[in-house]
Amino acid sequence: MNKVKWYLPIFIVFYSICAQSTIVHYNLFVIQDSMLTVNGEKLPYVSYNLTNHFRQENPILNARVGDTLTLLIHNRTNNVHQFQIQGLSKSPIEILPKDTAFVEVKRLLEGAFIYFDPYDFPVNSYFGLSGMLVVKNHSHKSFYWNLKDHQYALNFQLSEGTSVDWALYEPNLFTINGKSNPDINIDSDAKVIGSVGDTLVIHITNTGLGIHSLHFHGYHVEIVYSSKFPNHVGRKKDTLPIHPMASMILQLIPDKPGEYPVHDHNLAALRANKKYPKGMFTTLSIDP
């Protein structure tokens, strides 16, 4: 893999010129470091990053329907990783320690997709290596919620190479884009801001291991995409369960102004290490 690495950027530029569809390219760096919780604790964590600098969010990758997505994935860790885009790439590719791999997906379909590390599933995906790819066919105001749950002790166990009994999984930290309340509200990708009559589109992936039941105050939203339950498209609901490794796209056209919470209605998920209200909770901010 190292031998071919030098010519990959040249190949991508050449490919962009020759190909008829738009090429959307990202570099993703796999980096192990620590995530900072809302309480100020540090947990061992691995994430995908757009640069060589660690961030705990896992970036939102954006493309348009019909585009070709190319990725260069740089494994900066000492462990073997894999990469797969659920529903788009057929089989995982392997990335050796300190190596780089190339991924290409042509003719992207509309939806919200999970990119993740399927190696020893759910270990690496849980440990941080899972994010969202959004393929759009609209230009409405868009928001992105990558839901995760974490159990403090397990992150330390995994960083030490200890095996984990997932049947006993009991998370005590709940995040959207790597943040808990109130920090979610300063994330411009997550914080829904709009006006009455706007078409607001919320893209959601659940890359945690638990089911999250998101309740919207003030409004019903329409399901416009559901990876797990395609027959639910068109339903208007105020409470939307989202299963692990599932994605959903919701459309909201607000009919009144105000500040309205959205939160997990598993109310135990509104805590971070037992502290309320530091969980999966954000607010919609709708102007007149």
Least distance from another protein to the Cβ atom of residue 219, Å: 6
Decide whether 26 or 126 has the Cβ nearer to another protein: 126
CB atoms within 10 A of CB 250: 23
Least distance from another protein to the Cβ atom of residue 89, Å: 27
Q: How far from 231 is each of 8, 133, 182, 213, CA to CA, in Å?
A: 41, 22, 34, 18
d(CA 237, CA 220): 5
Decide whether 117 or 149 has the Cβ nearer to another protein: 149
d(CA 222, CA 195): 17
Decide whether 94 or 259 has the Cβ nearer to another protein: 259
Least distance from another protein to the Cβ atom of residue 119, Å: 21
Least distance from another protein to the Cβ atom of residue 100, Å: 35
Strands 200-206 and 141-150, by their bridges, are parallel
Decide whether 57 or 149 has the Cβ nearer to another protein: 149
Least distance from another protein to the Cβ atom of residue 218, Å: 6
d(CA 80, CA 237): 42
Place of tokens 């005590």: 172
Decide whether 69 or 209 has the Cβ nearer to another protein: 209
SS3 282: strand
> Residue 57 burial (CB < 10 Å; 0-12/13-18/19+)?
buried
Q: How far from 271 is each of 123, 206, 267, 282, CA to CA, in Å?
A: 23, 18, 8, 13
At 42, which amino acid appears?
A: K
Least distance from another protein to the Cβ atom of residue 288, Å: 12
Which residue, 31, 30, 34, 40, is CA-closest to 180?
A: 40
d(CA 183, CA 281): 10
Task: Report the interface residues with another protein, using CB under 8 A.
Answer: 149, 166-172, 209-213, 215, 217-220, 231, 234-239, 241, 256-261, 264-268, 270-271, 274-278, 283
Decide whether 17 or 167 has the Cβ nearer to another protein: 167
Decide whether 135 or 147 has the Cβ nearer to another protein: 147
Least distance from another protein to the Cβ atom of residue 264, Å: 8
